[in-house]
Structure 1
Amino acid sequence: MLSDNLIIQFPKIGSEQQGYISIAEVGKTCPFEIQRTYWIYDCPEFMKRGGHAHRHNLHQILICVAGQVEVALFDGVEKKAFTLDNPTMGLYQPPLVWGDLIYQQNSVLLVLASKLYAAEDYIRDYQEFLKIAHSVREG
């Protein structure tokens, strides 16, 4: 079952006159060591991305730093939907959770990941994901 504690609130420091800074710190707002950071941008409006899960212990935090991204997470039992549209809010995606994302035009999604990229860690076939997720939950 997906946790109810998937939203991470980052501090918002500053003012309207000067602008703001938000900070992700390991052990404070980030529950894992960050090995990789990447960002997705210039997607056409309503572009669907994601469509995969990770086999092993890859933890991620998704932060929409501009625009809006709709995220659906599914752990094989429960599905939850989120709207990311605030750079002070992060969404924690645990391992073995399928993610589908729909981008609004001019959106920028920043991702903090606990592991380096490994192609073999990706589950891109939905039926394979369901089999793995159910076997892990049962066993």
Structure 2
Amino acid sequence: MKIDGVKIIDLPKNLDRRGNLSVIEEFKNIPFKIERTYWIYDVPGGEVRGGHAYKRNQEFIVALSGSFDVILDNGMERETFSLNRSYYGLYVPNGIWRQMQNFSTNSLALILASIPFDVTDYVYDYELFKKTLHEKVNNL
């Protein structure tokens, strides 16, 4: 992985002849308390979701059904993660530009977030994102 902090996390798999079961627990499987849960589904072909960064929010993204790509960008490098299994997910720390695309038919994306919805936490302008990131690095 090129982008610091980003990682694929394998989830526990309980295999059973009746069907499999996986679980996500805060601070055990993912490194934050879950404050919000949402899902994305019925995405028309060719549509892109996301296209923003968060100042504080962290996320864990799982493809519960179907597949899709998550493109992450730290302002210097870009990396694509193809999610297509329900027993692993992608941890995305704050300060990373993200977008989701290439949704398969009947795909279902589950997103666990570390803070409740807060419109002021979003950065929607990519150039502002890069400028803010540059200023943050220079102030360290």
Same fold (TM over 0.5): yes
Q: 1:114 to 1:36 in 2, by over 3 A?
A: same
Deviation at 1:4, TM superposition (A): 6.7
Give, in angstroms, the shift of residue 104 of structure 1.
2.0
Structure 1 position 20, deviation (Å): 1.1
2:82 is aligned to 83
Partner of 2:70: helix, strand, or coil? strand
The residue number in structure 1 matching 2:61 is 62
Change in 2 beyond 3 A, CA 1:87/1:75? same
Q: Which residue matches 1:20?
A: 20
Range that drifts further, 17-26 or 34-43: 17-26
Matched, 1:34 2:34: yes
- In structure 1, what is the Cα distance between the partners aligned to 2:5 and 2:32? 18
Give me the CA root mean square deviation.
1.4
Q: Determine whether 1:133 maps to 2:129.
A: no
Residue in 2 aligned with 1:96? Answer: 95
Aligned residues: 137
Q: Distance in 2 between matches of 1:47 and 1:85?
A: 18
Aligned partners of 1:46 and 1:22: how far apart in 2?
30
With structure 2 as the length reference, what TM-score do the two structures score?
A: 0.92
Unaligned runs of 5+ in 1: none
Secondary structure at 1:115's aligned position in 2? coil
Q: Which position in structure 2 is the counterpart of 1:9?
A: 10
Question: Match of 1:129, SS?
Answer: helix
**TM-score (ref. length: structure 1):** 0.93
Q: 1:45 matched to which residue of 2?
A: 45
For residues 79-105 of structure 1, what are the alpha-carbon distances to aligned partners after superposition, in whole Å with 9 as ceiling and x for unaligned?
111000000111011101000110222
